């Protein structure tokens, strides 16, 4: 029958990268890439928009490490705005929420206040915010010995070194060295306080040399929005979101595309549309999308394929979408099903520019949720956004249902689960990216674009698959990047 003449579709375990002549050492492989037309990443990795994976804590750490966190949308719009602002405020060069002292306070009061707020010094301002001086623990100490009636105005340093808004980190640091100070108040042209730069803040930023920042030097963040949530999209955009992700299990739905188009017209942030898994779906949105996200059913907690009987194995899905996207210079994100670093780099070989992971990061400290102990082993909760639990605690229109209160109404396409506790995101990412760089070394490509060009797949049999895993041994020590599936 015609109907049974079906094309084959492949996934991660069906293929391997063909090793090629190389002079590329993994450490030298450059993994800079793009997530959308206007947003570059230093590490081509995103954390999934799931309520057990990405809130501000995860997003902050992802951006610091060079990737991008995508905030989930199981939260009210005002909470989402707060979360975006939290990411934007983290690692700020100029601190806005400055602890200040008043000239009439006693040194003892200021000492207690600085202790409570965890700062080592404070600009002294009058009631209008004009900078009169600066006071630090060093200024206070001798006064504390004498008595507690001394006023800040006597103890403070009144020749304050200040800078303007436009100051760079380097200039601020030079001022600090030159004047042997640790804090530089930022003032406007009337000498009114607008912020503060600290030595500690600058040094902390230096630790994150790979951090991904926007034009204003704030960490970048992605936000998931429903295809019909124009209001949420506008709010996220205004709060400073860099990329909006239309969050939909089947974006090749004409209503969804209409909604996504409307959102794209209402915001200035990039808009990534997904998920899709075919050429035709890509064709239907390349004209307006700033990025395409691929994945119909590959997720570890996803049951879409068994529940609906529909889906597309991920390697085929990525390459189909990428063929179309590349012609229009639209970046592609491979979302779901990545268990090992090898799967991630195979995704790039198939044509993706970046990868999105849920399960891989769900066990880290930065993921929301508590560590639970089951039979002496530590776990963190991890659930599909189409699971009953997640749908009940959100508006759940990724997997459209009528009455959110009625359990029986749900036809879930996801499960609720747990992942072994993993420690820091930084160490997980180190393994993931290190493995991807190894893949680039085996193929002999020094950059992501070169790797996409040069990589080739070979087809693997089930015998080949078995050979690829640890076999015929009893594993005695856990490897940081491998556990037998």
Q: For Cα atoms 80, 83, 86, give the angle at the middle one, nearest 5 degrees.
A: 155
Residue 68: name the closest of 356, 418, 435 by CA: 356
Residue 34: name the closest of 379, 272, 195, 384 by CA: 272
Could you confirm whether 398 is annotated as catalytic?
Answer: yes
**Residue 287 counted as an annotated binding residue:** no
Contact 99, 113 (CB under 8 A): yes
What is the C-alpha separation between 415 and 399, in angstroms, rounded?
A: 13
DSSP H helical segments within 65-218, as ranges?
77-89, 107-117, 137-146, 152-155, 169-179, 199-207
**Residue 233 counted as an annotated binding residue:** no
What is the C-alpha separation between 483 and 17, in angstroms, rounded?
A: 21
Shortest CB 70 distance to ligand RVP, Å: 8
CB atoms within 10 A of CB 268: 10
Phi–psi pair at 285, nearest 5 degrees: -135, -5
What is the C-alpha separation between 345 and 451, in angstroms, rounded?
A: 9
**Residue 62 counted as an annotated binding residue:** no
**Residue 311 counted as an annotated binding residue:** no
**Residue 482 counted as an annotated binding residue:** no
Q: Exactly one of 141, 302, 370, 459 is catalytic; which is it?
A: 302
Two tokens at 484? Answer: 């037998």
Within the chain, what is the greatest distance between any pair of CA atoms? 98
Two tokens at 424? Answer: 């820091």
Shortest CB 17 distance to ligand RVP, Å: 20
How buried is residue 328: exposed, middle or buried, by Cβ count under 10 Å (0-12/13-18/19+)? Answer: middle
Contact 330, 354 (CB under 8 A): no
Shortest CB 274 distance to ligand RVP, Å: 8
- Which residue's CB is nearer to ligand RVP, number 143 or number 245? 245
Could you confirm whether 302 is annotated as catalytic?
Answer: yes
If you count them, how many residues does the chain have? 485
DSSP one-letter code for 421: -
**Residue 335 counted as an annotated binding residue:** yes
**Residue 147 counted as an annotated binding residue:** no
Q: Exactly one of 183, 261, 398, 454 is catalytic; which is it?
A: 398
- Which residue's CB is nearer to ligand RVP, number 91 or number 353? 353
Contact 23, 47 (CB under 8 A): no
Q: What is the Cα Rg of the chain in Å? A: 26
Shortest CB 144 distance to ligand RVP, Å: 55
Q: Which residue is nearest to ligand RVP (CB)?
A: 414
**Residue 22 counted as an annotated binding residue:** no
Two tokens at 5? Answer: 């003449």
Two tokens at 193? Answer: 């306080």
Positions that interact with ligand RVP (CB under 6 A): 48, 50, 275, 295, 299-302, 304, 335-338, 356-360, 384-387, 413-414
Phi–psi pair at 208, nearest 5 degrees: -105, 70
**Residue 295 counted as an annotated binding residue:** yes
Residue 481: name the closest of 441, 440, 423 by CA: 423
Dihedral sign of CA atoms 89, 94, 96, 101 in order = positive
**Residue 207 counted as an annotated binding residue:** no
Two tokens at 74? Answer: 């199981």
The owner of tokens 């081509």 is: 44
Please enumerate, by residue number, every residue annotated as part of a binding site.
Answer: 247-249, 295-297, 299-300, 302, 335-337, 358-359, 382-386, 413, 467-469
Please enumerate, by residue number, every residue annotated as part of a binding site for NAD(+).
Answer: 247-249, 295-297
Please enumerate, by residue number, every residue annotated as part of a binding site for IMP.
Answer: 300, 335-337, 358-359, 382-386, 413
> What is the set of active-site residues?
302, 398
């Amino acid at each position: 029958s015609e109907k049974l003449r079906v094309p084959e579709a492949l996934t991660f375990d069906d293929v391997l990268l063909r090793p090629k002549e190389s002079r590329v050492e993994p450490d030298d492989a450059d993994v800079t890439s793009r997530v959308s037309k206007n947003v570059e990443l230093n590490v081509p990795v995103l954390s999934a928009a799931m309520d057990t994976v990405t809130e501000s804590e995860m997003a902050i750490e992802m951006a610091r490490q060079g990737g991008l966190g995508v905030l989930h949308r199981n939260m009210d719009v005002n909470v989402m705005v707060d979360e975006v602002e939290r990411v934007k405020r983290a690692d700020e060069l100029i601190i806005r929420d400055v602890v200040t002292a008043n000239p009439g306070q006693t040194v003892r009061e200021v000492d207690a206040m600085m202790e409570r707020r965890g700062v080592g010094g404070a600009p002294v301002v009058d009631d209008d915010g004009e900078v009169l001086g600066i006071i630090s623990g060093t200024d206070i100490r001798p006064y504390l010995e004498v008595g507690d009636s001394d006023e800040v105005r006597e103890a403070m340093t009144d020749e304050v070194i200040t800078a303007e808004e436009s100051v760079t980190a380097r200039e601020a640091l030079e001022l600090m060295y030159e004047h042997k100070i640790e804090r530089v108040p930022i003032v406007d042209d009337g000498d009114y306080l607008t912020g503060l730069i600290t030595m500690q803040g600058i040094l902390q930023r230096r630790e994150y040399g790979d951090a991904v920042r926007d034009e204003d030097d704030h960490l970048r963040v992605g936000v998931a929005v429903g295809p019909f949530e124009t209001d949420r999209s506008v709010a996220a955009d205004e709060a400073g979101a860099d990329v909006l992700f239309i969050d939909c299990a089947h974006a090749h739905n004409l209503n969804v595309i209409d909604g996504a188009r409307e959102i794209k017209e209402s915001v200035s942030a990039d808009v990534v549309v997904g998920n899709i898994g075919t050429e035709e779906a890509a064709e239907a949105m390349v004209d307006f999308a700033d990025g395409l996200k691929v994945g119909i059913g590959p997720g570890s907690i996803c049951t879409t394929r068994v529940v609906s009987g529909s889906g597309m194995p991920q390697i085929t899905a990525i390459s189909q979408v990428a063929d179309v996207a590349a012609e229009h210079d639209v970046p592609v994100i491979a979302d779901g099903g990545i268990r090992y670093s090898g799967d991630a780099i195979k995704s790039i070989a198939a044509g993706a520019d970046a990868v999105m992971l849920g399960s891989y990061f769900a066990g880290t400290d930065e993921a929301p949720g508590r560590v639970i102990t089951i039979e002496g082993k530590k776990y963190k909760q991890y659930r599909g956004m189409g699971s009953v639990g997640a749908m009940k605690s959100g508006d759940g229109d990724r997997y459209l249902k009528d009455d959110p209160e009625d359990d029986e109404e749900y036809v879930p396409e996801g499960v609720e689960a747990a992942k072994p506790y993993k420690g820091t995101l930084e160490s997980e990412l180190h393994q993931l990216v290190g493995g991807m760089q190894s893949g680039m070394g085996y193929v002999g490509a020094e950059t992501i674009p070169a790797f996409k060009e040069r990589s080739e797949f070979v087809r693997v049999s089930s015998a080949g698959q078995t050979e690829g895993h640890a076999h015929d041994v009893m594993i005695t020590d856990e490897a940081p990047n491998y556990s037998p599936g």
